[in-house]
Structure 1
Amino acid sequence: MNAPNSHNTATVAGLRMIEQLRQVHEPLRADIEVLENALQQLSDETADLTRIPEMIDNLTIADFVWQLRVNCDFYCNTLTLHHTIEDQRMFPVMTRNFPELAPAVERLQAEHKLVGEIVSEAKRASLALSTESSTVNRAHAAISELADHMQSHLDFEEATLFPYFRRMDRDWHYG
């Protein structure tokens, strides 16, 4: 796939689309890291458990394991919704406007399918989370696998789409 010329100029709509996608991607990056680190702390037998609450600010409703269970599930649901919107709404607009993006979009959609399978396991593992070490280890492994896939996926998606966004006069939300 030939990327569009990388100019320092970009359309207003393109810059807005880049900012919107970054506003979704950055919390996804940050939250998966927090979840992974919290589960790592919980799984370390010698962990200083007094540090865990400071890792997840503003989570005061219930105990830490319950919060992890809820937040892992919420993260997985948010990620699934994000990928559904991209697959059903953004990618068709992008390939219609830029047919040369088709191979990259196919790769992104294949990655979404793979991530969806990992998300399913992460949800199952997270919802089964308790203070039992086997459930913690299972949830940690699932979230770590998801984190590994998400970092490279988000980087590829941004590197692929942002140059095209910069050229668009109209936000993809509007066709």
Structure 2
Amino acid sequence: AENASNLGATPTAENASNLGATPTLDNGVRLTDVRVWDETTRPTGPAPDPTRHYTPAEQANGRHLIDVHDHLRAELTQLRDLIDQVASGVIDAGTARSHINTMTMRQNNWTLGAYCESYCRLVTMHHTAEDAMVFPHLRRAEPALTPVLDRLQEEHHAIHKIIERVDRALVSFVGDPDGLGHLRETVDLLTDSLLSHLSYEERELVEPLARHGL
């Protein structure tokens, strides 16, 4: 069956072409069995007008959200790659037990920690900006979007809680390399939740942002 997050007020092919941008579809792939929300209960906004044409400036408003999200997706991929590198370092250190490998492992841990902290801050700042500025603007401009915006804010809060779990798992891992499995599981949950959320948000907001601006 098609993933529920792919359904709803998705722009038509013609409308997406007029938008100059295509919202990123959720491919339905999940790395964990944990679900922090029920995707089938996500509300949808009004269907876009398939005959609506957008100016270049309006297209840029809608495309900006996708651009920001693509950056978050790329950063998430880098974060996962760093964890894979650390995993390889832990195995080497565990077999060699040498001082050099231990120092290398610590350096990897520090690099991962710095990157996790930076990435988590980036996601939090993005969601805070949406909640504080973009969402109130859209609520005023298009009240029919209110259920969607309420749900998106709820998901922002849920993602922030997962980020806090990543922070705790990272601290635990730096002190105990045996905690790598737990760190991986937590980052997998962040991956599932964040990618699902970003796709849902694009599906619902790219077209309204084109019409109403940022």
Pairwise TM-score range, normalised by the shorter structure:
0.7 to 0.9
1:73–1:127: 8 Å Cα contact kept in structure 2? no
Instruction: State how far apart, in whole Å, the 2-side matches of 1:156 and 1:110 are.
Output: 13
Match of 1:161 among 205, 208, 212: 205
Matched, 1:23 2:58: no
Are 1:105 and 2:149 counterparts? Answer: yes
Match in the other structure for 1:67 = 111
Q: Is the Cα–Cα contact under 8 Å of residues 6 and 163 in structure 1 kept in the other structure? A: no
> Which structure would you say has the larger Rg?
2
CA shift in 2, pair 1:95/1:41, >3 Å: same
State the 1:36 CA deviation: 2.0
Match of 2:186 in 1: 142
Mapped contact 1:73–1:123 kept (Cα < 8 A): yes
CA deviation string 1:88-126 (max 9, x = no partner)? 110010111011111111110110011011011112222
- Amino acid aligned to 1:85: A
| 2:19 paired residue number | none
Residue deviations 1:9-55 (CA, integer Å, cap 9, x gap): 22333222223222321121111122123324534699799xxxxxx
2:139 counterpart of 1:118: no
**2:165, 2:131 → 1: CA distance?**
21
The residue number in structure 2 matching 1:34 is: 78
Q: Do the aligned partners of residues 26 and 7 (structure 1) sit closer, same or farther apart at CA in structure 2, a change above 3 Å counting?
A: farther
Question: Which of 1 and 2 has higher RCO (CA within 8 Å, sep 6+)?
Answer: 1
Q: Tell me if structure 2 keeps the 8 A contact 1:13–1:165.
A: no
**Per the alignment, do residues 6 and 140 of structure 1 end up closer, same or farther by CA in structure 2, a change over 3 Å counting?**
farther
CA contact (8 A) 2:90 2:177 kept: no
Q: Please report how far the alpha carbon of residue 65 of structure 1 lies from its aligned counterpart in structure 2 after TM superposition.
A: 1.7
Quickly say closer, same or farther: Cα 1:18–1:127, change in 2 above 3 A. Answer: farther
Give the distance between the partners of 1:46 and 1:65, measured in 2 at CA: 10
The answer to whether the Cα contact below 8 Å between 2:166 and 2:186 also exists between their aligned partners in 1 is yes
Cα-Cα RMSD = 2.6
Among all aligned residue pairs of Structure 1 and Structure 2, give the percentage whose two residues are the same amino acid.
30
Structure 1 CA distance, aligned partners of 2:74 and 2:189?
15
69, 72, 85: which is aligned to 2:129?
A: 85
Q: Which amino acid aligns with 2:170?
A: S
Larger deviation, residues 156-165 vs 30-39 = 30-39
How does the TM-score come out when normalised to structure 2?
0.65
With normalisation by structure 1, the TM-score equals 0.78
The 3-state SS of whatever aligns with 2:174 is: coil
For 1:46 and 1:75, the matched residues in 2 are separated by 22
